[in-house]
Structure 1
Amino acid sequence: MAIPTSRTKTPAEISIDREKCTGCGLCVSVCKDFSIAIKEGKVEVHDHPLFGCIGCGHCMAICPSGAIDVSGRTFSSHDLFELPDRKDAATYEQLHILFQRRRSVREFREAPVDGDLIKKILDTARTAPMGLPPSDVNVLVLNSREKVRSFAEDFCCYLESMKWIVSGWFLLLMRPFWSKESHEMFKNFVRPLLHAYTENMQKGVNLVSYDAPLAMYFYGSPYADPADPIIAATYAMAAAEALGLSTCMIGGIHPFIQNGRKAKAFREKQGIRSASREGLFVLFGYPKVNYTKGIQRTFASTEEKQ
């Protein structure tokens, strides 16, 4: 038995070198699948795991003597690396300043984003935590203004055929079947957004992707934890900020391309592999404007349980 993903449906394999094993038990303490156990002073593979090794690699990463090797589910011991020393990590103050500086920017210079920077952004995004390994996050990379613009134009052509979903008769028909909040969002946000996208594109004004020099669409698979692509996109935005780029999350693309025959055709044309419960389109580029002030934000609520 194994937890399935789009990339693998079999468990990883755990190999133990009993000569190297010291029986310290660290590996057993971090394995939440109960795939390993201590027997006669040595670690061994357990007969009754919870799911079967998911390939998180915790046991292999924590073993001080290198006695454990995990392979399968797209990784092996060759993927291990030494963690950077904590003294080399960003301080809280540095991290907080980085996040304070990040703003949603939609005004970009025409300068392209170098391929080395794109690689660094993706390398950082790959470090994002995930619900279950291996990651089921996919990334569509549009690495030029021309590709970003072409995607937006195709998207607006697709939206032209979907305008019935914000028509008066459709909203009236659906009113008894969905929540008050859904009705308000469709009427006061989705409908004007769709018209703004399509009508401005007809005038040559791109309000979908603002002709950014780089865009990435993070999305999952039918198996993916819905949070995974959002977290990966967030890591990518933080990396871009550290590299001197500005970013903007675009939430008005993903929901429109998930359901129906036309949505599937659009995804296939763009090289998007599957529908996804959650996804995020992110713009990147060198800012044309310079902000000197931020806005203090708040949560809807913050309560400590007594």
Structure 2
Amino acid sequence: MSLVTIDHNTCLRDGMCGEVCPQGLFEPDGEGFPAFRAGADQHCITCGHCVAVCPQGAVSHEALPMEDAHLIDHTLAVPIPALNQLLRSRRSVREFREEPVPQAMVREIIDTARWAPSAVNRQPVHWLVIQTPAEVRGLAGLVIDYLRRSTSLEPRYARYIELWEQGRDPILRNAPHLAVIHAPDEWIWSSVDSTIALTQFELAAVAQGIGTCWAGFLMRAANGHLPLREALGIPADHSVFGALMYGFPRYSYHRVPPRLEARIEWR
């Protein structure tokens, strides 16, 4: 049986499923109905375009059950001004309340982020969520250890070490939580796919009132400092491709400061 079948009773023979298939796996049969090409099963990337585009629900994909392919409610379209404000007003939050973010809320955000695009729908991302502030603090300490070993190469790190010794946290900013993304080294697009997924996580978090900040120092140290890597529990064949500290912001922001004009070359 073919991976994809077409219900001839409901199909309108409009050819849309074939046109949107990124692998070009459909061809019309003798009656004009779309048909999955012979041998196409091994080339399908299970992106779901064919299922998503059919207004009649005539496309059935064995790996994508129709009952799990929820209808889009077009009345929920986000107003452009609201979307623009969300994107422009997002800020890197470094001061957090002690109140923990409920796990259910984070699970919902990750559930949204898993729809982020990935190359050929590989979906290589693995999530590590550190929920305990004490563990986040311990990870920050391991990053400081990494910086101590690197001051001969990067003298500017001395300032961060000094702040840490004064009882401050310039690494993870006393954040209550941390989200880390890792993915297989063998996949050439792991870095890009991870960045897109973590960006989608960040925007979904901000939309729910959660503050985030990219944990650059931890990202740099995670793949070069064995004690930190072991503390994170990253598989030997994976690398860390992103990390976000997050929590409820201590302060609210009320204005959108200007940015540099976009550098555009029109062709």
Q: Which of 92, 107, 118 is the matching residue for 1:119?
A: 107
Q: Distance in 2 between matches of 1:16 and 1:140?
A: 40
Aligned pair 1:155/2:143, yes or no? yes
Q: Distance in 2 between matches of 1:218 and 1:233?
A: 7
Cα distance, 1:275–1:156 mapped onto 2, change above 3 Å: farther
3-state secondary structure, aligned to 1:279: strand
3-state secondary structure, aligned to 1:167: coil
* Map 1:39-54 → 2, pairs under 5 A: 39-40=29-30, 41-47=32-38, 52-54=43-45
Which residue of 2 is the match for residue 246 of structure 1?
211
Q: Which amino acid aligns with 1:139?
A: W
Contact 2:93 / 2:211 at 8 angstroms: preserved in 1? yes
Q: Distance in 1 between matches of 2:86 and 2:56?
A: 38
Contact 1:34 / 1:48 at 8 angstroms: preserved in 2? no
Cα distance, 1:15–1:234 mapped onto 2, change above 3 Å: same
Q: Which amino acid aligns with 2:156?
A: P
Query: What is the CA deviation profile of residues 254-289 of structure 1, one whole-angstrom value per residue up to 9, with x for unaligned ones?
Result: 233335xx54x632431223544x722112122223
Which residue of 1 is the match for residue 98 of structure 2?
110
Which residue of 1 is the match for residue 156 of structure 2?
192
Q: Distance in 2 between matches of 1:20 and 1:89?
A: 27
Measure how far apart 1:43 and its partner are: 1.8
Cα distance, 1:71–1:303 mapped onto 2, change above 3 Å: same
3-state secondary structure, aligned to 1:266: helix
Taking every aligned residue pair, what percent have the same amino acid on both sides? 29
Which residue of 2 is the match for residue 57 of structure 1?
48
* Map 1:1-306 → 2, pairs under 5 A: 13-40=3-30, 41-47=32-38, 52-72=43-63, 75-85=64-74, 87-160=75-148, 162-163=149-150, 167=152, 190-193=154-157, 195-222=158-185, 223=187, 224-259=189-224, 262-263=225-226, 266-273=228-235, 274-276=237-239, 279-298=241-260, 301-305=263-267
3-state secondary structure, aligned to 2:228: helix
Aligned residues: 262
Measure how far apart 1:158 and its partner are: 4.2
Measure how far apart 1:57 and its partner are: 0.7
Cα distance, 1:83–1:159 mapped onto 2, change above 3 Å: same
Q: Distance in 1 between matches of 2:245 and 2:131?
A: 10
Measure how far apart 1:199 and its partner are: 4.1
Q: Distance in 2 between matches of 1:251 and 1:56?
A: 32
3-state secondary structure, aligned to 2:249: coil
202-211 vs 29-38, which deviates more?
202-211
- Superposition TM-score, scaled by structure 1 size: 0.75
244-253 vs 291-300, which deviates more?
291-300
Q: Distance in 2 between matches of 1:255 and 1:71?
A: 41
Cα distance, 1:35–1:19 mapped onto 2, change above 3 Å: same
Q: Distance in 2 between matches of 1:140 and 1:304?
A: 41
RMSD across aligned positions (CA): 2.7
Gaps of 5+ in 2: none
